[in-house]
Structure 1
Amino acid sequence: MTDAPRLTAPRLDRQVCFAMYSASRAATAAYRPMLDELGLTYPQYLVMLVLWEEDPRTVRELGEELGLDSGTLSPLLKRLEALGFVERRRSAADERRVEVFLTDAGTALSARATGIPQQLADAAGLTPAELDQLRETLGRLTAALHAPR
């Protein structure tokens, strides 16, 4: 009987996917107390970030920017509207399009959220250059995994 080479099972601590998953959960947990003060969940915060960059945006644009389908995005927008931060309106130019506008309260919320990225960076303990490199690397990874095969 010969000894066949033994296959080595993948180790959890060597998996990039698990490192990303763990980091994502840790980052979301770190955001939670900051976002609780704003009355937002993390996905709602992401929607607001996009709108603070450019207002109004169509629902389709928001979905593309955030990588969310309408089934996920619609409840987020409904809740943000109930909180008084956004308003959804049918486009006058094309009634099939729904535009999302910041309300005065939604615009004012951005001032309260200004320090959040720095607070997370401080909690991460990484230099600005390390954070930039990490974001760039993750962006390349995301693009590669979304590329058609």
Structure 2
Amino acid sequence: MALDDQLCFALYAASRAVTARYRPMLDQLGLTYPQLLVLMVLWEADGLPVHSIAERLQLDTGTMSPLLKRLSAAGLVVRERSTADERQVIVRLTDVGSALRRPAEDVSAVMIGALQLDQQEFDRMKGQLERLSRNVATVD
């Protein structure tokens, strides 16, 4: 049971390394990585209910509330009650939140370069990690 033989430790170390590499670039944008993920979801489809964003990011709505509160306080998103169903809160990008897309794409490009993987390796690794996540999530 050596530490270096553990897949979980390799995943943990890789996650920490990637997050550490992101941090200074995201600090320049005034974002944390989870906040960036929320914005990415909204750049794909703006005006989503909180539960849809949470589901897409595989987070619970309790985790989403403080994230959205900070994004709202920073002027990046607005939260409003749905007119169709007042129980739902809809999240929309502000102009400032929309404008962060281009600088965030630059960060993503730097990170992809830092991985030093060709497209085939990138696609294979991403697929393996997605499969691992699905498998672990469905294990009883």
In 2, distance between residues paired with 1:61 and 1:71? Answer: 13
- Counterpart secondary structure, 2:100: helix
Cα displacement (A) at 1:33: 1.2
Looking at structure 1, the residues matched to 76 and 15 of structure 2 have their Cα atoms a distance apart, in angstroms, of 26
Corresponding residue for residue 11 of structure 1? 2
Aligned partner of 1:84 in structure 2 is 75
Higher helix share: 2
Write out per-residue CA displacement over residues 12-44 of structure 1, whole angstroms, 9 at most, x where no aligned residue.
111110100000010001101111111001111
Counterpart in the other structure of 2:132 = 141
Return the alpha-carbon distance in structure 1 between the equivalents of residues 33 and 107 of structure 2. Answer: 12
Q: Alpha-carbon deviation of 1:88? A: 0.3
CA-atom RMSD in angstroms: 1.0
Hey, what does 1:121 align to over in structure 2? 112
Residue 16 of structure 2: aligned partner: 25
Q: Could you tell me how far apart the structure 1 residues matched to 2:96 and 2:130 are?
A: 32
Where structure 2 has 5 or more consecutive residues not aligned to the other structure, the ranges are none
Which residue in the other structure is 1:4 paired with? none
1:93 corresponding residue in structure 2? 84
TM-score (norm 2): 0.96
Taking the aligned partners of 1:128 and 1:95, their CA distance within structure 2 comes to 45
- Look up the match of 2:64: 73
Normalising by structure 1, we get a TM-score of: 0.90
Number of aligned residues: 140
Structure having greater relative contact order (Cα 8 Å, sep ≥ 6): 2
2:34 alignment partner AA: P
**C-alpha deviation, 1:121, in angstroms:** 1.4
1:148 offset after TM fit, Å?
Answer: 5.0
Structure with greater Cα Rg:
1
Q: Percent identity at matched positions?
A: 52
Query: Secondary structure of the residue that 2:85 maps to in structure 1?
Result: coil
Q: State the AA in 2 paired with 1:19.
A: A
Q: Distance in 1 between matches of 2:80 and 2:125?
A: 37
